[in-house]
Structure 1
Amino acid sequence: MKNNTIWSVLLLIMTLHSIKAQEKQNVLVFLIDDLRTELGCYGNDMVKSPNIDKLASEGTLFTRAYSQQGICAPSRISILTGLRPETVGIYDLFTPLRSVHKEMLTVPKYFKEHGYKTVSIGKVYHHGRDDIESWTNFTQKEPNSWASQSNLELIEKFQKEGRENTRGPAFENADVPDEGYKDGRATQHAIQTLKELKNDDFVMFVGLTKPHLPFNAPKKYWDLYDKDLFVVPSRNEPINMYSNALTNWNELRAYYGIPQEGTLDDNLTRDLIHGYYASISYMDAQVGKIMTTLDDLDLRKNTLVVFMSDHGYKIGEYGAWCKHTNFELDVRVPLIISNNYDDSAPQEMQVSKALVENVDLFPTLVEACNLKMPDLDGKSLLPLLKNPDVTWNDGAYSLYPRGEKIMGCTVSDGLWRYTEWRDSQTQQVKSVELYNHSDGNPVAVENLAGKTAHKRVETKMKTLLRERFPRTNYSFYK
């Protein structure tokens, strides 16, 4: 009798393991726009991000994650193809993936071919309808939407006057519900879609636009902050930096009320920082609503959740704004992966200092779902979820062009950032930058390239860069 009981228990255990092995893992990716590591879980004591902090507490937080390019379109294409921008050949904001690569493998294409429902909600690709055939469920991203009638009327007035820039003000705090702005509406659609797909195998991307410009968020999120407590960053540019390392941040200048030349005064700077933080808290609330739905539907136990940003951002550092550079502020991003479905998953937040990249998302999802690994530039991060201290990459790589003639190639080893500005055809090095971030400060202070005291570091970083970026031609699609 005793033996029969033992065998019954063993049979039950084997059956349960078999069921678990056959059960496909779902995927939910929060792809956020223009978010730097301004979150509570990254040590920022001012920002209010309780929902993202909770997600981090249930997974692995990466402190050294990097985007492959500090601009939306190429970065998102790199994320969704698992290929670096130099492999894809798209470096600008205006070239959709499918306009030049009709059959290139993408995350939605691959998972759809393997029986998953693939879902795009909000801003996933920069170009709204790019790669649309690869999605089972697709929601067109909305244009920038304004809650207040006064701003709508202002934009209409600009359009009638024939102005080139008709985007309205750069920030707004209308007293409206979350659904008054597009991220709130995208969230409601994501919640409804989860309910419809609860019995399916799915890979869902939710693209939340905030804190992208304009910094529009319901008033209650602005009220979380006291504008006067925000510190205006130093406007000093890095000493001896490459002349074209920074931009004129025309993306912000396109908005009403922003000076067309020069830096911003302290009052406007604080208004914009206030708007950036309010937008983060608004976005955080939407993440919380979707995660609550995942729990309510009992989907959390077999869903890999990823929270990531397409690139970083400047909020007044160097007297500059937006992204569009190779600086640490523009390419370092938040990355959180939570895999509650895994019995070996940590029960509290673990932190990894490994150098990882956004291009690693595709292979991570493939391995998590036990599928055959395609030929990709990135590599799966699953080993780091099991052991965050495992030996990993020596460098993380990004690039940024200045027109079609100059390509800036950059690498970080977690302590130093080294950049070569090259002729994109001949690969002749026009200028070199070396910045010390070993104190944890993401703001570049002085270009130390060529300094005798740092010759050894510069040589090491140059070798590291050329392992990833050999002297080859960078082709631009017209």
Structure 2
Amino acid sequence: MRFLPRIVTFFLLLPSYAWTQTMHNKRYNVLLICVDDLMPELGCYGNSIVKSPYIDSLAARSAVFTKHYVTVPTCGASRYSLLRSTLPRTKAALGNEAAKILSDPETAIGNEPETFIEQYRRNGYHTVGIGKISHSPDGYRYPYAGPKSDQRELPRSWDEVSFNPGKWGHGWNAFFAYADGESRITMQGEVPPYEAADVPDEGYPDGLTAALAVDKLKMLARQEKPFFMGVGFFKPHLPFNAPQQYWDLYDAGHLPLTAVPNIPANINLASLHNSAEFNQYRLGEESAALDQPLSDGYARKLIHGYYACISYVDAQVGKVLQALEETGLADRTVVVLWSDHGWHLGDYRVWGKHTLFDRALRSVLMIKTPAMSRCKVVNRITSTIDIGPTLLELCDLPPLSQADGRSLIPLLNDVQDKAWADVAYSYYNHGISMVTPQFRLTRYFRKEQPVIELYDHATDPLETRNIAERSPDIIRQLTPLWERGNTGVYAK
């Protein structure tokens, strides 16, 4: 079976002091690394099979959040929530086009900063976006099939945006890239969901993104102005395409399959989905569906591809972090590594995100300040909306007036902070889900029954059995807290 989420035991903890110690003027630089579709399947999160040495090395000097949850389990909406530090309040904020809210004249946000990144720009920082930070892979708004437009997705946040599409021509082709220069788009879906090509790292777009980021860090090191740099990598998002050398790190025949191959008990199938995104790759050997799992052999091939992509993107992250050290920027730069949601690798027969289960909602988060030198494991419940407030406070910048999130600095100083409320809310699929230290409570706004799901993580951490029907007292006790996350997003 695949590993339960747990942090590796060799990380040593420091005393609570010094974790947020700052320079006298608090003018830290910030490096935000966004990784697409990365579940917490890394060495530093307890998976001893995945090869992720560079991210693990960062984790060994960072605060590692083991119970971090996204607000929406789809790329664009999760990133919108990150950038705005807000819970979704409209249906538009639940989709991949959520960033349109920021740039469309009819829905633009007036004079307040469009994102927490613009707050940096307004306060004297040079802001640089490389790759996928919001939903667009290159920072510009245009349809998957192109052509590329000149309309920025975050028009007020960046001083500059940069992306090298290589032989793929533009961002969306690069996002779904194959090594021969084609993409899922150009091939109209007539492609497999994986590829192992005998090419160097730059033979796929993430290698080009890492090279751009390294060059930009060298330039930024020569200026006195503080900077905020976002770097967005594509993998391990579908298709699971990576250079052959990263596939060679794994023996596919011995890769563990999901520990939860069956549908959770006492739920409606409407809580899951038939892996539509995965099935867009029409040359796959099998189609995924809820009525039966994929064959073990094909499932292992896909897990092999996902793990190879993790190792590939890990190497690209390593290049960026090495450049940060070599340029002398590391001692005055806050580093954040975040993934926009998790992923079902065959769990409950689903291949993809887009559910309100832990596998889709729990994601990677680690934060390193220059004062940190050893790992600090944070087993408290946190949300993506907490990242912006944390970074602004670390750099002594004004908070966003509309932010729903809370600064994580109290937990950086003391993981046992008694004032911290261990709760996070997530929204999707006509449902609102709340996680606490012991329970996940989900309510769906739909006709299909049951509309309430309750999972006890103390006895069922993999969420295999909905116990709502036999637990009315627990639901009654949790409902007032759940109501605090009911933003009206599903109001009729």
TM interval, shorter chain, is 0.7 to 0.9
Residue of structure 2 equivalent to 1:16: none
- Tell me, yes or no, if structure 1 residue 382 matches structure 2 residue 405: no
Residues 62 and 354 in structure 1, CA contact (< 8 A), matched pair in contact too = yes
Work out the percentage of aligned pairs sharing the same amino acid: 36
Residues 242 and 433 in structure 1, CA contact (< 8 A), matched pair in contact too = no
Residue of structure 1 equivalent to 2:282: 256
- Aligned CA distance change for structure 1 residues 87 and 118 (closer, same or farther; 3 Å): farther
Residue of structure 2 equivalent to 1:66: 69
Residues 422 and 430 in structure 1, CA contact (< 8 A), matched pair in contact too = no
Residue of structure 1 equivalent to 2:395: 369
Residues 177 and 183 in structure 2, CA contact (< 8 A), matched pair in contact too = no
Correspondence for 1:237 among 237, 253, 263 = 263
Residues 114 and 157 in structure 2, CA contact (< 8 A), matched pair in contact too = no
Correspondence for 2:358 among 304, 307, 328 = 328
Residue of structure 2 equivalent to 1:120: 129
User: The residue matched to 2:445 in structure 1 has which SS?
Assistant: strand
CA distance in structure 1 between the partners assigned to 2:183 and 2:380 by the alignment: 49
Q: Which moved more, 1:119-128 or 1:314-323?
A: 119-128
CA distance in structure 1 between the partners assigned to 2:347 and 2:400 by the alignment: 40
Residues 176 and 239 in structure 2, CA contact (< 8 A), matched pair in contact too = no
CA distance in structure 2 between the partners assigned to 1:302 and 1:27 by the alignment: 9
Correspondence for 1:102 among 108, 119, 128 = 108
CA distance in structure 1 between the partners assigned to 2:184 and 2:437 by the alignment: 46
CA distance in structure 2 between the partners assigned to 1:71 and 1:455 by the alignment: 31
Residue of structure 2 equivalent to 1:270: 300
Q: Deviations over 1:315-345 (max 9, x none)?
A: 01111110001001000111111101x3xx4
CA distance in structure 1 between the partners assigned to 2:159 and 2:426 by the alignment: 31
The 5 A counterparts of 1:283-302 are 283-302=313-332
Correspondence for 1:338 among 347, 358, 368 = 368
CA distance in structure 1 between the partners assigned to 2:29 and 2:127 by the alignment: 10
More helix by share: 1
- Tell me, yes or no, if structure 1 residue 448 matches structure 2 residue 467: yes
Deviation of the 1:132 alpha carbon: 3.3
- Tell me, yes or no, if structure 1 residue 459 matches structure 2 residue 476: yes
Q: Deviations over 1:26-67 (max 9, x none)?
A: 000111111111011111111111111111111111111000
Residue of structure 2 equivalent to 1:395: 423
Residue 25 of structure 2 aligns with an amino acid whose one-letter code is: Q
- Aligned CA distance change for structure 1 residues 436 and 145 (closer, same or farther; 3 Å): same
Residue of structure 2 equivalent to 1:14: none
Give the unaligned 5+ runs of structure 2. Answer: 1-21, 141-152, 164-170
Q: Which has the larger radius of gyration?
A: 1
Residue of structure 1 equivalent to 2:346: 316
- Aligned CA distance change for structure 1 residues 88 and 291 (closer, same or farther; 3 Å): farther
Residue of structure 1 equivalent to 2:272: 246
- Aligned CA distance change for structure 1 residues 298 and 252 (closer, same or farther; 3 Å): same
Query: What's the TM-score once normalised by structure 2's chain length?
Result: 0.83
Deviation of the 1:155 alpha carbon: 7.1
- Aligned CA distance change for structure 1 residues 359 and 155 (closer, same or farther; 3 Å): closer
Residue of structure 2 equivalent to 1:32: 35
Residues 132 and 138 in structure 1, CA contact (< 8 A), matched pair in contact too = no
Deviation of the 1:257 alpha carbon: 2.3
Deviation of the 1:87 alpha carbon: 6.4
Residue 483 of structure 2 aligns with an amino acid whose one-letter code is: R
Deviation of the 1:235 alpha carbon: 2.3
Residues 145 and 182 in structure 1, CA contact (< 8 A), matched pair in contact too = no
CA distance in structure 2 between the partners assigned to 1:72 and 1:223 by the alignment: 29
Residues 64 and 414 in structure 1, CA contact (< 8 A), matched pair in contact too = no
Deviation of the 1:302 alpha carbon: 0.8
- Tell me, yes or no, if structure 1 residue 85 matches structure 2 residue 88: yes
- Aligned CA distance change for structure 1 residues 356 and 261 (closer, same or farther; 3 Å): closer
Residue 101 of structure 1 aligns with an amino acid whose one-letter code is: T
When the two structures are aligned, how many residues end up with a matched partner? 434
- Aligned CA distance change for structure 1 residues 122 and 473 (closer, same or farther; 3 Å): closer
User: The residue matched to 1:305 in structure 2 has which SS?
Assistant: strand
Q: Deviations over 1:189-241 (max 9, x none)?
A: 00111111112311111111111001111111111100011122242100111
CA distance in structure 1 between the partners assigned to 2:295 and 2:200 by the alignment: 31
- Tell me, yes or no, if structure 1 residue 22 matches structure 2 residue 52: no
CA distance in structure 2 between the partners assigned to 1:300 and 1:36 by the alignment: 26
User: The residue matched to 1:85 in structure 2 has which SS?
Assistant: coil
Residues 420 and 429 in structure 1, CA contact (< 8 A), matched pair in contact too = no
Residue 417 of structure 1 aligns with an amino acid whose one-letter code is: R
User: The residue matched to 2:278 in structure 1 has which SS?
Assistant: helix
The 5 A counterparts of 1:131-146 are 131-140=154-163, 141=171, 143-144=174-175, 146=177
Residues 171 and 272 in structure 1, CA contact (< 8 A), matched pair in contact too = yes
- Tell me, yes or no, if structure 1 residue 282 matches structure 2 residue 307: no
User: The residue matched to 1:418 in structure 2 has which SS?
Assistant: strand
Residue of structure 2 equivalent to 1:217: 242
- Aligned CA distance change for structure 1 residues 193 and 238 (closer, same or farther; 3 Å): same
CA distance in structure 2 between the partners assigned to 1:292 and 1:463 by the alignment: 47
Residues 120 and 397 in structure 2, CA contact (< 8 A), matched pair in contact too = no
RMSD between aligned residues: 2.3
Deviation of the 1:415 alpha carbon: 2.2
User: The residue matched to 2:199 in structure 1 has which SS?
Assistant: coil
User: The residue matched to 1:282 in structure 2 has which SS?
Assistant: helix
Residues 125 and 228 in structure 2, CA contact (< 8 A), matched pair in contact too = yes
- Aligned CA distance change for structure 1 residues 153 and 119 (closer, same or farther; 3 Å): closer
